[in-house]
């Protein structure tokens, strides 16, 4: 058993609701994922991160859990889940699950019980006679009233926050983690893990977003909880954890992952996701490659071990956001793949990214399903933003952009029924089936790149040295004693002069150019050079 195999893993995120519908009800499911395991294996990844499949009323698509020990009926049964773990294992793929422990669903038995003031479950949640001024991630007050008391919810009102000051909560969560680890899963992606501990419920400093956050953001109590979970549970299994950590800087990230801290193994930072926005994600600015490059290089040099990603189920599609989803869709998607897969750290690929799927093409508000999108739209309306602006806001930022059904073939191939969320209209052009057949597809480029990564230890364990970071170009070297690979990326749609020279051979290029010393970089050009050392 290789305790640190996770470091050298390549992770593929599956959002079950949108992956593959096996029983024709328009909703992706676990048997659907099983049908596609050979596809996932062919891609070359060895870990799947499965977004929540637990029982849930689906207010937030499974991030509101009503029973951690059973499977959402829409997705299948526990037998299906066991089979998924087993079938994945047969293909050399292990599964990590989402661990959502900041909150449960309001339909969880604990919360239902906790509504009675004298119940032993009362203290599983955070009840007060009066709300404070905290605001929620989905906008508006973080408190709602039930009976004559208020409960805290940092997310939707159907996601009440657990009370981590209660040792009972700690006990329950440990049981849940063991239940899944005993089934052979490889660890957890820990949802909003750095906000679970509230050190006070005092009024917070008034802010545009997340008033109150100084009382729950990366508190010492959170670090203690993580150390306990590690010692009592995780250390007894062959597994790893990746924390989703909102608003952390590189120091705060290291405080969660340095080996001597014995807390998490790696975290998803958000700083690079903030490089195309002002203040908060609803106000986009034009994407400036320079900022993204700067943040990535900083995390590369300062953070002990990175979890690299350019998209997930909460973010717009990477090619639409950091590339060009029209004229240079193929080139820019390959360039972004080259970036994500050659940085130091563990790369995460989000379903559909490997075929260059684009943002959704929703025409009206009612085509969006995400609760966050609807809440923000309503808030913007209240603030009297004009309609065209509200529509633009959600078009650019809605989480549904990443949640449209997976495009398996020209007709869609996700389901025979109307899918739960509108399928992109470009499935005729962008789909798995055609991508498999076309040797120049984004998909085949991903496969080649993943193979290169596996064949060259330097891409996994070599150092990171930035060589050039101006003008929208990002050139860096990964090196160890006997090997070095240079990544050359043009993140812009303009041709650029190649600013530096090196000795070596091109090993992959998104323009299929073999000559490493070509003085001009084409739009979104990227390639790797095996340096002579």
The residues annotated with a catalytic role in the active site are 191, 244
138, 146 Cβ separation under 8 angstroms: no
**Where does residue 50 fall: left (phi above 0), alpha (psi -120 to 50 degrees), or beta otherwise?**
beta
Closest CA to 298 of 321, 269, 322: 269
Least distance to ligand TEU from the beta carbon of 155, Å? 4
With CB cut-offs between 5 and 8 Å by kind, which of Ca ion, ligand TEU, none does residue 29 bind?
A: Ca ion
Nearer to Ca ion, 27 or 489 (CB): 27
- Residues 139-178 contacting ligand TEU, CB under 6 A: 155
How far apart are alpha carbons 399 and 314 in whole angstroms? 5
Residue 490's DSSP bridge partners are 473
Residue by residue, DSSP assigns 13-34 as EE-GGGT--SSSSSS--HHHHH
Closest CA to 484 of 469, 500, 503, 497: 503
Among 55, 71, 100, 459, binds ligand TEU (CB under 6 A): 100
- Report if residue 469 touches ligand TEU, rule: CB under 6 A: no
Q: How many angstroms separate the Cα of 529 from the Cα of each of 336, 450, 455, 507, 508?
A: 17, 15, 14, 6, 8
Closest CA to 252 of 195, 310, 200, 312: 195
- Report if residue 63 touches ligand TEU, rule: CB under 6 A: yes
Q: Which backbone phi and psi does 206 adopt, to 5 degrees?
A: -65, 130
- Report if residue 436 touches ligand TEU, rule: CB under 6 A: no
Least distance to ligand TEU from the beta carbon of 112, Å? 20
Nearer to ligand TEU, 94 or 399 (CB): 399
How far apart are alpha carbons 47 and 301 in whole angstroms? 25
Segment lying near Ca ion (by CB under 5 A), choices 22-30, 155-163, 169-177, 228-236: 22-30
How far apart are alpha carbons 255 and 507 in whole angstroms? 37
- Report if residue 271 touches ligand TEU, rule: CB under 6 A: no
- Report if residue 379 touches ligand TEU, rule: CB under 6 A: no
- Report if residue 96 touches ligand TEU, rule: CB under 6 A: no
User: At 145, is the secondary structure helix, strand, or coil?
Assistant: strand
Nearer to ligand TEU, 9 or 398 (CB): 398
- Report if residue 314 touches ligand TEU, rule: CB under 6 A: yes
Least distance to ligand TEU from the beta carbon of 280, Å? 8
160, 101 Cβ separation under 8 angstroms: no
Least distance to ligand TEU from the beta carbon of 63, Å? 3
- Report if residue 80 touches Ca ion, rule: CB under 5 A: no
- Report if residue 197 touches ligand TEU, rule: CB under 6 A: no
With CB cut-offs between 5 and 8 Å by kind, which of ligand TEU, Ca ion, none does residue 21 bind?
A: Ca ion
Nearer to ligand TEU, 32 or 269 (CB): 269
Among 29, 60, 263, 353, binds Ca ion (CB under 5 A): 29
Whose CB is nearest to Ca ion?
29
- Report if residue 77 touches Ca ion, rule: CB under 5 A: no
The footprint of Ca ion (CB under 5 A) covers 21, 23, 25, 27, 29
């Amino acid at each position: 058993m290789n305790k640190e195999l996770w470091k050298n893993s390549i992770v593929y995120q599956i959002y079950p609701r949108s992956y593959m519908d096996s029983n024709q009800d328009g909703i992706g499911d676990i048997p659907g994922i099983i049908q596609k395991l050979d596809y996932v294996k062919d891609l070359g990844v060895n870990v799947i991160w499965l977004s929540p499949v637990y029982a849930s009323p689906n207010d937030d698509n499974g991030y509101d859990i009503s029973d951690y020990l059973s499977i959402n009926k829409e997705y299948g049964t526990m037998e299906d889940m066991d089979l998924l773990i087993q079938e994945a294992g047969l293909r050399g793929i292990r599964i990590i699950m989402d661990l959502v422990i900041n909150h449960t669903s309001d339909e969880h038995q604990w919360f239902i019980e906790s509504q009675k003031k004298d119940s032993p479950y009362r203290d599983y949640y955070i009840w007060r006679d009066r709300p404070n001024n905290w605001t929620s991630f989905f906008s508006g007050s973080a408190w709602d009233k039930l009976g004559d008391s208020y409960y805290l919810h940092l997310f939707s009102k159907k996601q009440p926050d657990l009370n981590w000051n209660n040792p009972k909560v700690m006990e329950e969560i440990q049981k849940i983690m063991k239940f899944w680890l005993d089934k052979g899963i490889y660890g957890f992606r820990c949802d909003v893990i750095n906000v679970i501990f509230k050190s006070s419920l005092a009024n917070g400093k008034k802010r545009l977003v997340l008033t109150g956050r100084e009382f729950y953001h990366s508190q010492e109590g959170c670090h203690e909880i993580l150390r306990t979970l590690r010692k009592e549970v995780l250390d007894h299994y062959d597994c790893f954890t990746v924390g989703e950590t909102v608003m952390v800087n590189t120091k705060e990230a290291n405080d969660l992952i340095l080996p001597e801290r014995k807390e998490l193994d790696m975290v998803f930072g958000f700083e690079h996701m903030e490089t195309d926005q002002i203040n908060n994600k609803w106000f986009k600015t034009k994407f400036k490659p320079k900022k993204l490059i700067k943040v990535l290089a900083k995390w590369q040099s300062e953070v002990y071990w990175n979890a690299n990603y350019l998209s997930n189920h909460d973010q717009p599609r990477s090619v639409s956001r950091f590339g060009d989803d029209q004229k240079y869709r193929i080139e820019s998607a390959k360039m972004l793949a080259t970036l994500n897969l050659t940085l130091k750290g563990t790369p995460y690929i989000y379903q559909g990214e490997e075929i260059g799927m684009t943002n959704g093409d929703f025409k009206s508000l009612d085509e969006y399903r995400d609760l966050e999108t609807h809440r923000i739209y309503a808030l913007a309306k209240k603030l009297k933003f004009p309609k065209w602006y509200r529509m633009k806001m959600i078009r650019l930022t809605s989480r549904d952009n990443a949640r449209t059904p997976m495009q398996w073939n020209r007709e869609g191939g996700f389901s025979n029924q109307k899918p739960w969320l509108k399928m992109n209209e470009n499935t005729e052009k962008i789909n798995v089936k055609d991508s498999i057949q076309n040797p120049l597809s984004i998909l085949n480029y991903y496969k080649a790149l993943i193979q290169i990564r596996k064949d060259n230890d330097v891409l996994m364990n070599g150092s990171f040295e930035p060589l050039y970071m101006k003008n929208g170009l990002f050139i860096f070297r990964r090196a160890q004693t006997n090997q070095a690979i240079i990544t050359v990326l043009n993140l812009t749609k303009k041709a650029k002069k190649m600013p530096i020279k090196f000795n070596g051979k091109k090993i992959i290029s998104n323009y299929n150019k073999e000559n490493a010393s070509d003085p001009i970089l084409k739009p979104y050009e990227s390639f790797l050079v095996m340096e002579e050392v």
